[in-house]
Amino acid sequence: MEKSANKIIVILFLLLLLLPAGTLGQKRHGDLDIALLGDSNTWIAGDDCSQPKGWPYWFEKKFQPRSIANYSRSGATWTNTANTVRSLEAYSEILDDNNVVYNQIARLIADVDNGGTAAPQVIIISAGTNDAWFQKRRPGVFSETPAQAFANTDALITGLKPSEVLSLALSVRYGCELLMLRFPDAQIVLLTPTQATVCGYNPIRETADIIEECGRRLSIATIAMEGGSGTYRAIEYVKKTHTSDGAHTNPDGARRHGYFIANQLESILLF
**What does the pLDDT read at residue 23?**
45
Binned at pLDDT 50, 70 and 90, residue 58 comes out as very high
Contact 125, 190 (CB under 8 A): yes
Alpha carbons 14 and 238: distance in angstroms, whole number:
42
11-15, 59-63, 168-172: which range is least confident on average? 11-15
Name which of 82, 199, 85, 96 is nearest 143 in CA terms: 82
Crossing angle of helices 168-182 and 101-113, in 10° steps, is 10
Alpha carbons 56 and 68: distance in angstroms, whole number:
9
Q: How many CB atoms lie within 10 A of CB 113?
A: 11
Mean pLDDT value of segment 115-137: 97
**What does the pLDDT read at residue 130?**
98
Q: Helices (H), strands (E): how many in the chain?
A: 10, 5
Binned at pLDDT 50, 70 and 90, residue 226 comes out as confident
Q: What is the pTM of this model?
A: 0.90
